[in-house]
Amino acid sequence: MNLWLKKIYLAVLEWIDYRTGVNDLIKDQLTEYRVPPKLNFWYSLGGLSLFIFGLQLVTGVFLLVYYVPSTDEAFESVQRIMVDIPYGWMIRSAHAAGSHSMIFVVILHMLSVLFMGSYKKPREITWLTGCALLFLTLGICFTGYLLPWSQLSFWATTVATNIPQPIPVVGPYIVRLIRGGENINPDTLNRFFALHVVVIPAVMLALAAAHMYLIRVLGISDPKKPDTDSGE
């Protein structure tokens, strides 16, 4: 059965490994990475969050190919994605569905960590980076929601950016800072666009890397003895 194919395949892998030592890395980090026995469904939610984030990156970049970030053209460009571009509806719906499921899964992940007590010493920093990731997820959804520049996005953003208004003294300043004006205006769209596609994704990538580095260094927690290091 296709022996020569297998030979070529193995030779290529061998060639790469000789020059990078990547096989050891794969063994250590993936195939022979030890975890406590009896892990359950709840442990998969962090990985699932990461997977959805990856999907959002991919579908988001595809949307960027046709989306135009300007108050004159945003709505029409989104209509074009939905109606004219082959599979555009699918990419956009996937991006919208992904954003909702991402919030759902990230919150479930957080609850599971909370109830299993996995945030306890020495994992406090992992917990804090996780909290920051949750807020950034909310932030990226919030900023993305304005981008189609529809009636719904406009008024939803008007309402949501009004929330800090009643804070004593600083409230009105915060609102103006977020909006870049007294009301939602073209500058609001542009700053939300910058936050949505560049700033927040970049910070999230960095934080997710730190989050996973810590998980790797500290090992996965064991619900029965959450304050011990179950790593190697």
Partner 1 sequence: MNETASNTAGTDRRTFLQWLISGLLLGAFAAAANVAVRFLMPPPKAKKATELSIPTAQVPLGSSLVVEHKGEPVIIVHSDVGFVAFSPVCTHLGCLVKWVRDENILLCPCHAGKFDLTGKVIAGPPPEPLHPVKFEIQNETIVLV
Q: For the CB of residue 87, give the shortest distance to partner 1 in the complex, in Å.
A: 5
CA torsion through residues 208, 214, 216, 218, sign: negative
Residue from 137, 161, 188, 221 touching ligand HEM (CB under 6 A): that is: 137
Instruction: Write down the residue that tokens 């190919």 correspond to.
Output: 65
**Peptide bond preceding 122: is omega within 30 degrees of 0, i.e. cis?**
yes
User: What DSSP character marks residue 198?
Assistant: I
Instruction: Work out what residue 3 binds among ligand HEM, partner 1, none; the CB cut-off runs from 5 to 8 Å by kind.
Output: none
Closest C-alpha to 137, from 89, 63, 205: 205
User: Which amino acid, one-letter code, is at 116?
Assistant: M
Residue from 96, 128, 212, 218 touching ligand HEM (CB under 6 A): that is: 96
Residue from 50, 94, 102, 133 touching ligand HEM (CB under 6 A): that is: 102
Residue 78 interacts with ligand HEM (CB under 6 A): yes or no:
yes
Q: Is 32 helix (H, G, I), strand (E, B) or coil?
A: coil
User: What DSSP character marks residue 120?
Assistant: S
Residue 61 interacts with ligand HEM (CB under 6 A): yes or no:
yes
Closest C-alpha to 63, from 87, 35, 39: 87
Instruction: Work out what residue 96 binds among partner 1, ligand HEM, none; the CB cut-off runs from 5 to 8 Å by kind.
Output: ligand HEM
The residues, any chain, with a CB within 8 Å of residue 19's CB and separated by 6 or more, are none
Residue 78 interacts with partner 1 (CB under 8 A): yes or no:
no
Instruction: Write down the residue that tokens 């061998």 correspond to.
Output: 14
The span from the CA of 42 to the CA of 183, in Å, is 43
Instruction: Work out what residue 137 binds among partner 1, ligand HEM, none; the CB cut-off runs from 5 to 8 Å by kind.
Output: ligand HEM
Closest C-alpha to 138, from 106, 109, 167: 106
Residue 85 interacts with partner 1 (CB under 8 A): yes or no:
yes
Beta strands in 83-196 (DSSP E): none
Stretch 172-191: interaction string toward ligand HEM, x if CB under 6 A: --------------------
Q: Which window, 35-43, 107-115, 135-143, 155-163, contacts ligand HEM (CB under 6 A)?
A: 135-143
Instruction: Work out what residue 118 binds among ligand HEM, partner 1, none; the CB cut-off runs from 5 to 8 Å by kind.
Output: none
Q: Where along the sequence are the contacts to ligand HEM (CB under 6 A)?
A: 53, 56-57, 60-61, 63-64, 67, 78, 92, 95-96, 99, 102, 137, 140-141, 144-145, 147-148, 196-197, 201
Q: Where along the sequence are the contacts to partner 1 (CB under 8 A)?
A: 1, 62, 65, 84-88, 90-91
